[in-house]
Chains A and B, each alone.
Chain A
Amino acid sequence: DVVMTQSPLSLPVTLGQPASISCRSSQSLVYSDGNTYLNWFQQRPGQSPRRLIYKVSNRDSGVPDRFSGSGSGTDFTLKISRVEAEDVGVYYCMQGMYWPSFGQGTRLEIK
Protein backbone atom coordinates (compact mmCIF):
# COMPACT_ATOMS: atom_id res chain seq x y z
CA ASP A 1 0.00 0.00 0.00
CA VAL A 2 1.07 3.57 -0.67
CA VAL A 3 1.51 5.54 2.55
CA MET A 4 1.06 9.29 2.48
CA THR A 5 2.91 11.29 5.14
CA GLN A 6 2.07 14.93 5.76
CA SER A 7 3.99 17.51 7.75
CA PRO A 8 3.48 19.42 9.85
CA LEU A 9 0.34 17.98 11.42
CA SER A 10 -0.44 21.31 13.09
CA LEU A 11 0.23 24.65 11.44
CA PRO A 12 -0.38 27.91 13.34
CA VAL A 13 -0.11 30.84 10.97
CA THR A 14 -0.49 34.61 11.35
CA LEU A 15 -3.07 36.20 9.07
CA GLY A 16 -1.47 37.44 5.88
CA GLN A 17 1.56 35.20 6.24
CA PRO A 18 2.43 32.25 3.96
CA ALA A 19 1.88 28.61 4.82
CA SER A 20 3.33 25.41 3.41
CA ILE A 21 2.29 21.78 3.83
CA SER A 22 4.41 18.84 2.73
CA CYS A 23 3.10 15.48 1.53
CA ARG A 24 5.37 12.53 0.82
CA SER A 25 4.33 9.24 -0.71
CA SER A 26 6.03 5.91 -0.04
CA GLN A 27 6.09 5.19 -3.79
CA SER A 28 6.27 7.29 -6.91
CA LEU A 29 2.89 8.60 -8.05
CA VAL A 30 3.88 8.83 -11.71
CA TYR A 31 1.38 6.73 -13.66
CA SER A 32 2.02 4.77 -16.84
CA ASP A 33 0.37 7.57 -18.82
CA GLY A 34 3.08 9.95 -17.61
CA ASN A 35 0.75 11.93 -15.36
CA THR A 36 1.13 12.33 -11.61
CA TYR A 37 -2.18 12.01 -9.80
CA LEU A 38 -2.05 13.76 -6.46
CA ASN A 39 -4.94 15.81 -5.08
CA TRP A 40 -5.22 18.25 -2.20
CA PHE A 41 -8.43 18.72 -0.21
CA GLN A 42 -9.54 21.32 2.30
CA GLN A 43 -11.99 20.43 5.07
CA ARG A 44 -13.35 23.42 6.92
CA PRO A 45 -14.82 22.84 10.39
CA GLY A 46 -18.13 21.02 10.14
CA GLN A 47 -17.95 20.66 6.36
CA SER A 48 -17.25 17.97 3.80
CA PRO A 49 -13.87 17.92 2.09
CA ARG A 50 -13.50 20.13 -0.96
CA ARG A 51 -10.93 19.52 -3.68
CA LEU A 52 -8.50 22.40 -4.11
CA ILE A 53 -5.79 20.98 -6.37
CA TYR A 54 -5.73 18.08 -8.81
CA LYS A 55 -2.85 16.45 -10.66
CA VAL A 56 -0.30 18.11 -8.34
CA SER A 57 -0.69 21.72 -9.45
CA ASN A 58 -4.08 22.39 -11.09
CA ARG A 59 -6.45 24.59 -9.11
CA ASP A 60 -10.11 23.72 -9.12
CA SER A 61 -12.65 26.28 -10.29
CA GLY A 62 -13.37 28.87 -7.61
CA VAL A 63 -10.21 28.17 -5.63
CA PRO A 64 -8.35 31.41 -4.83
CA ASP A 65 -5.04 31.84 -6.59
CA ARG A 66 -3.25 32.16 -3.24
CA PHE A 67 -3.38 28.33 -3.20
CA SER A 68 -0.77 26.53 -5.26
CA GLY A 69 0.47 22.96 -5.55
CA SER A 70 3.82 21.67 -6.68
CA GLY A 71 6.05 18.63 -6.58
CA SER A 72 6.91 15.47 -8.42
CA GLY A 73 7.53 11.78 -7.90
CA THR A 74 7.11 11.30 -4.16
CA ASP A 75 7.38 14.84 -2.76
CA PHE A 76 4.56 17.35 -2.97
CA THR A 77 3.73 20.72 -1.43
CA LEU A 78 0.63 22.83 -0.94
CA LYS A 79 1.33 26.52 -0.43
CA ILE A 80 -0.91 29.37 0.65
CA SER A 81 0.70 32.68 -0.24
CA ARG A 82 -1.20 34.78 2.31
CA VAL A 83 -3.39 33.02 4.84
CA GLU A 84 -6.91 34.33 5.38
CA ALA A 85 -9.36 33.51 8.16
CA GLU A 86 -11.47 31.34 5.82
CA ASP A 87 -8.47 29.03 5.26
CA VAL A 88 -8.80 27.55 8.75
CA GLY A 89 -9.38 23.81 8.55
CA VAL A 90 -7.65 20.53 7.84
CA TYR A 91 -5.79 19.87 4.60
CA TYR A 92 -5.33 16.39 3.14
CA CYS A 93 -3.31 15.03 0.26
CA MET A 94 -4.63 11.97 -1.58
CA GLN A 95 -3.22 9.39 -3.97
CA GLY A 96 -5.06 6.76 -6.01
CA MET A 97 -2.17 4.78 -7.50
CA TYR A 98 -3.22 1.43 -6.06
CA TRP A 99 -5.73 1.64 -3.25
CA PRO A 100 -6.72 5.22 -2.59
CA SER A 101 -5.21 6.71 0.53
CA PHE A 102 -4.97 10.04 2.30
CA GLY A 103 -2.34 11.80 4.35
CA GLN A 104 -3.03 12.18 8.08
CA GLY A 105 -4.20 15.76 7.62
CA THR A 106 -2.64 19.11 8.56
CA ARG A 107 -4.66 21.35 10.82
CA LEU A 108 -4.20 25.02 9.92
CA GLU A 109 -5.12 27.54 12.61
CA ILE A 110 -4.70 31.25 12.99
CA LYS A 111 -2.01 32.24 15.46
Chain B
Amino acid sequence: EVQLVESGGGLVQPGGSLRLSCAASGFTFSNYWMHWVRQAPGKGLVWVSRINTDGSTTDYADSVKGRFTISRDNAKNTFFLQMNSLRAEDTAVYYCARDAPGGLVDYWGQGTLVTVSS
Protein backbone atom coordinates (compact mmCIF):
# COMPACT_ATOMS: atom_id res chain seq x y z
CA GLU B 1 0.00 0.00 0.00
CA VAL B 2 1.37 3.38 -0.99
CA GLN B 3 1.85 5.66 2.02
CA LEU B 4 3.11 9.23 2.17
CA VAL B 5 3.56 10.88 5.55
CA GLU B 6 4.42 14.57 5.87
CA SER B 7 5.99 16.19 8.90
CA GLY B 8 7.67 19.43 9.88
CA GLY B 9 4.80 21.90 9.73
CA GLY B 10 4.16 24.48 12.41
CA LEU B 11 3.96 28.15 13.28
CA VAL B 12 6.75 30.38 12.00
CA GLN B 13 7.23 34.12 11.90
CA PRO B 14 7.36 36.03 8.62
CA GLY B 15 10.85 35.81 7.19
CA GLY B 16 11.51 32.55 8.97
CA SER B 17 12.33 29.08 7.69
CA LEU B 18 10.83 25.62 7.93
CA ARG B 19 11.76 22.24 6.49
CA LEU B 20 9.04 19.79 5.54
CA SER B 21 9.65 16.08 5.12
CA CYS B 22 7.68 13.39 3.33
CA ALA B 23 8.38 9.74 4.15
CA ALA B 24 7.32 7.30 1.46
CA SER B 25 6.58 3.57 1.65
CA GLY B 26 4.79 0.88 -0.30
CA PHE B 27 6.51 1.57 -3.64
CA THR B 28 10.00 1.90 -5.12
CA PHE B 29 10.59 5.52 -4.14
CA SER B 30 13.71 6.00 -6.26
CA ASN B 31 11.72 5.30 -9.45
CA TYR B 32 9.29 8.19 -9.02
CA TRP B 33 9.32 11.94 -9.39
CA MET B 34 7.68 13.54 -6.35
CA HIS B 35 5.66 16.71 -5.82
CA TRP B 36 4.60 19.25 -3.21
CA VAL B 37 1.14 20.80 -3.49
CA ARG B 38 -0.35 23.32 -1.08
CA GLN B 39 -3.82 24.47 -0.09
CA ALA B 40 -4.41 27.75 1.71
CA PRO B 41 -7.25 27.72 4.26
CA GLY B 42 -10.56 27.45 2.44
CA LYS B 43 -8.88 27.66 -0.96
CA GLY B 44 -8.01 25.33 -3.82
CA LEU B 45 -5.01 23.18 -4.66
CA VAL B 46 -1.84 24.84 -5.93
CA TRP B 47 1.18 22.97 -7.25
CA VAL B 48 4.43 24.07 -5.58
CA SER B 49 7.39 21.99 -6.70
CA ARG B 50 8.59 18.67 -8.11
CA ILE B 51 11.81 16.68 -8.20
CA ASN B 52 12.99 13.94 -10.50
CA THR B 53 14.15 10.49 -9.50
CA ASP B 54 17.77 11.30 -8.65
CA GLY B 55 17.30 14.90 -7.56
CA SER B 56 19.09 16.41 -10.54
CA THR B 57 16.00 18.17 -11.90
CA THR B 58 13.74 20.41 -9.87
CA ASP B 59 10.88 22.73 -10.80
CA TYR B 60 9.09 25.41 -8.84
CA ALA B 61 6.00 27.56 -9.07
CA ASP B 62 6.88 31.21 -9.67
CA SER B 63 5.44 32.13 -6.28
CA VAL B 64 8.11 30.12 -4.41
CA LYS B 65 11.06 30.20 -6.81
CA GLY B 66 14.23 31.39 -5.09
CA ARG B 67 12.75 30.85 -1.61
CA PHE B 68 11.90 27.12 -1.53
CA THR B 69 14.21 24.19 -2.28
CA ILE B 70 13.10 20.63 -2.94
CA SER B 71 15.45 17.71 -2.36
CA ARG B 72 15.37 13.97 -1.72
CA ASP B 73 17.22 11.15 0.00
CA ASN B 74 16.52 7.92 -1.86
CA ALA B 75 18.37 5.87 0.74
CA LYS B 76 15.82 7.00 3.31
CA ASN B 77 12.78 7.05 1.00
CA THR B 78 12.19 10.65 1.97
CA PHE B 79 12.00 13.99 0.22
CA PHE B 80 11.99 17.49 1.56
CA LEU B 81 10.88 21.07 1.06
CA GLN B 82 13.13 23.71 2.58
CA MET B 83 11.11 26.90 2.89
CA ASN B 84 12.96 30.18 3.52
CA SER B 85 11.85 33.81 3.66
CA LEU B 86 8.34 32.69 4.52
CA ARG B 87 5.44 35.05 3.98
CA ALA B 88 1.90 35.17 5.32
CA GLU B 89 0.65 34.01 1.93
CA ASP B 90 2.62 30.78 2.32
CA THR B 91 0.21 29.73 5.07
CA ALA B 92 -1.33 26.47 3.87
CA VAL B 93 -1.60 22.75 4.28
CA TYR B 94 1.30 21.27 2.36
CA TYR B 95 0.74 17.89 0.73
CA CYS B 96 3.35 15.60 -0.75
CA ALA B 97 2.24 13.56 -3.73
CA ARG B 98 3.62 10.86 -5.99
CA ASP B 99 4.11 11.52 -9.68
CA ALA B 100 1.90 9.86 -12.26
CA PRO B 101 2.12 9.70 -16.07
CA GLY B 102 1.68 12.99 -17.88
CA GLY B 103 3.20 15.13 -15.15
CA LEU B 104 0.22 14.51 -12.92
CA VAL B 105 -0.01 13.03 -9.41
CA ASP B 106 -1.81 10.03 -7.99
CA TYR B 107 -1.28 9.34 -4.25
CA TRP B 108 -1.28 12.10 -1.62
CA GLY B 109 -0.14 12.35 1.97
CA GLN B 110 -2.36 13.60 4.79
CA GLY B 111 -0.83 17.07 4.73
CA THR B 112 1.04 19.23 7.23
CA LEU B 113 -0.07 22.73 8.21
CA VAL B 114 2.31 25.65 7.89
CA THR B 115 1.22 28.90 9.51
CA VAL B 116 3.23 32.05 8.90
CA SER B 117 2.27 34.68 11.42
CA SER B 118 3.77 37.03 13.96
Label chain A's interface by main secondary structure. loop
Which residues of B from 34 to 55 have beta carbons under 8 Å from A?
A: 35, 44-47, 50
B103 engages A100 (CB within 8 Å): yes
Given A99-B47, A102-B47, 6 further pairs, Cβ under 8 A: A35-B102, A54-B104, A99-B61, A101-B47, A104-B44, A105-B45
Q: List 25 A-B contacts (CB under 8 A).
A: A35-B102, A48-B95, A48-B111, A49-B108, A50-B108, A51-B105, A51-B107, A54-B100, A55-B102, A94-B45, A94-B104, A95-B103, A95-B104, A96-B103, A96-B105, A98-B103, A99-B59, A100-B35, A100-B105, A102-B45, A102-B46, A102-B47, A103-B44, A104-B44, A105-B45
> For the side of the interface on A, what is the size category?
20 to 34
Compute the total of residue contacts between A and B using a CB distance below 8 Å. Answer: 67
A92 interface hit (Cβ, 8 Å): yes
The residue on A at minimum CB distance from B100 is A54
A residues sitting closer than 8 Å to B (CB atoms) are 31, 35, 37, 39, 41, 43, 48-51, 54-55, 60, 90, 92, 94-105
Residues of B with C-beta under 8 A to A90:
44
* Count of chain B residues near A, Cβ 8 A: 21
A100 engages B106 (CB within 8 Å): no
